[in-house]
């Protein structure tokens, strides 16, 4: 299992475009990835799951990855977040 926290910096939070890009990024990995905001959890491979979390600027989110390529996924998702969220 791999995990990391991230504080969203973009003024609009995770809106449709960023959620779509995130889900497209994660779907290429075999590992499962959960996105946590408070007590709510979403599958980060599914656009609507991400949108339902309503992540806003300044929110702290947690990514948890489990599977055969979790380390590669961790690096790829962390890089994506730094550039886009």
Cα 43 vs. chain centroid, distance in angstroms?
8
CA atoms within 13 A on the CB side of 54: 1
Helices assigned H by DSSP within the chain: 16-26, 47-52, 70-84
How confident is the model over 2-52, as pLDDT tens digits? 999 999 999 999 999 999 999 999 999 999 999 999 999 999 999 999 999
pTM, 2 dp: 0.92
pLDDT digits (tens, 9 = 90+) for 41-84: 999 999 999 999 999 999 999 999 999 999 999 999 999 999 99
pLDDT, residue 51, reads 95
- What is the structure's pLDDT at 75? 96
Q: What is the pLDDT of residue 81?
A: 96
The answer for residues whose C-beta is within 8 angstroms of residue 84's C-beta and 6 or more apart is 10, 18, 21, 22
* Cα–Cα distance list, 53 to 8, 58, 61 (Å): 13, 14, 10
Residues serving a catalytic function are 15
């Amino acid at each position: 299992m791999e995990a990391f926290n991230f504080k969203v910096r973009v003024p609009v939070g995770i809106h449709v475009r960023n959620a779509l890009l995130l889900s497209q990024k994660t779907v290429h990995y075999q590992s499962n990835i959960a996105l946590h905001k408070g007590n709510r959890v979403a599958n980060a491979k599914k656009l609507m799951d991400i949108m339902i979390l309503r992540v806003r600027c300044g929110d702290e989110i947690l990514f948890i990855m489990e599977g055969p390529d979790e380390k590669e996924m961790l690096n790829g998702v962390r890089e994506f977040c730094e550039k886009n969220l």
